[in-house]
Amino acid sequence: MTEAAYRDLQLPEGSAVREGVEETDTGVFKTFVFLPEVHVEYDREAIRARFSNDNAAVKILRDEISREYTEVATVPARGYHFNTGRAALAMNGYQQDWLEGIPESVIVSFSGMGNPFAMGMPVDGEYVVDIGSVAGLDATIAARVVGPAGHAVGVDMTQAMLDKADAGKAEMGLDQLEFRHGFAESLPVSNGWADLVISNGVVNLSPDKDRVFKEIFRVLRPGGRIQIADITVDKEIPEGAKRDIDLWTN
């Protein structure tokens, strides 16, 4: 504040003010810096509310991520900062026989970061949830393995990916496979429904990972399994980086 502003504002009595000077082209001025003391209580419910479907910041983040993956769905050969298609599948150890009969339109938009099936395949008759199913490749592999007695549900928030996944499902005629619009933080799946939850490069995109894992445990039956392939870090991410939306989407 300038001296005039400090005089006119009439700060509360006892306020801690730091005085100084600032030199500009027009002269030297006396300055006053007031840093109010703020007491903040940790409120878990208030923190969780920040990540509700109605929160503007979360909507912006989701829109940016959906925009990126809409591109992967509609222009898969464009080239991205992550590997896609058959190159990514080969790098992540997917077996060729898993891919036989799956439409190329589904394969080219694969954008996973690893291989959840490296931890084991589903079992005949099991119910599987794929969080962030994108074009549907992992969910399709799971659906073929569990067979008609089982069921696989892919959940994704990007409509272009859901459209592509549904087209692939229709081409293959898999009645035990379906895709639902939804978010990792609020899965459209009943309590205790799944024997296995898989995910491939998606949990890292959520700003509330605790909530994602609570959802995973909610939809799993007792004794169910989790198989996640994703990006991890071994040190704390700076707060400034967490607020950079480009780093979330890239």
Q: What is the domain-level CATH number for residue 120?
A: 3.40.50.150
Considering the domain architecture, whether residues 102 and 30 belong to the same structural domain is answered as: no
Q: What is the mean pLDDT of residues 160-174?
A: 96
In a domain, 186, yes or no: yes
| Residue 179 bridge partners (DSSP) | 154
Contacts (Cβ under 8 Å, ≥6 apart) of 138: 112, 116, 117, 130, 154, 198, 200
Residue 34, both tokens: 């007031």
Reduce the DSSP state of residue 199 to 3 states and report it. Answer: strand
Considering the domain architecture, whether residues 29 and 102 belong to the same structural domain is answered as: no
Considering the domain architecture, whether residues 17 and 66 belong to the same structural domain is answered as: no
Considering the domain architecture, whether residues 12 and 125 belong to the same structural domain is answered as: no
pLDDT confidence band for 33 (50 / 70 / 90): confident
Residue 117 has pLDDT above 60, yes or no: yes
Domain residues for the domain of 144 are: 44-249
Dihedral angle sign, alpha carbons of residues 138, 205, 224, 235: positive
How far is C-alpha 138 from the geometric centre of its chain's CA atoms? Answer: 17
Q: What is the mean pLDDT of residues 162-168?
A: 97
Considering the domain architecture, whether residues 82 and 139 belong to the same structural domain is answered as: yes
Considering the domain architecture, whether residues 10 and 62 belong to the same structural domain is answered as: no
Considering the domain architecture, whether residues 101 and 136 belong to the same structural domain is answered as: yes
- Average pLDDT along the chain: 86
In a domain, 17, yes or no: yes
Counted domains in the chain: 2
- Interatomic CA distance for residues 140 and 198, integer angstroms: 12
- Interatomic CA distance for residues 142 and 124, integer angstroms: 10
Considering the domain architecture, whether residues 146 and 174 belong to the same structural domain is answered as: yes
In a domain, 39, yes or no: no
pLDDT of residue 41: 45
Predicted TM-score (pTM) of the model is 0.74
Considering the domain architecture, whether residues 106 and 181 belong to the same structural domain is answered as: yes
Residue 44 has pLDDT above 90, yes or no: no
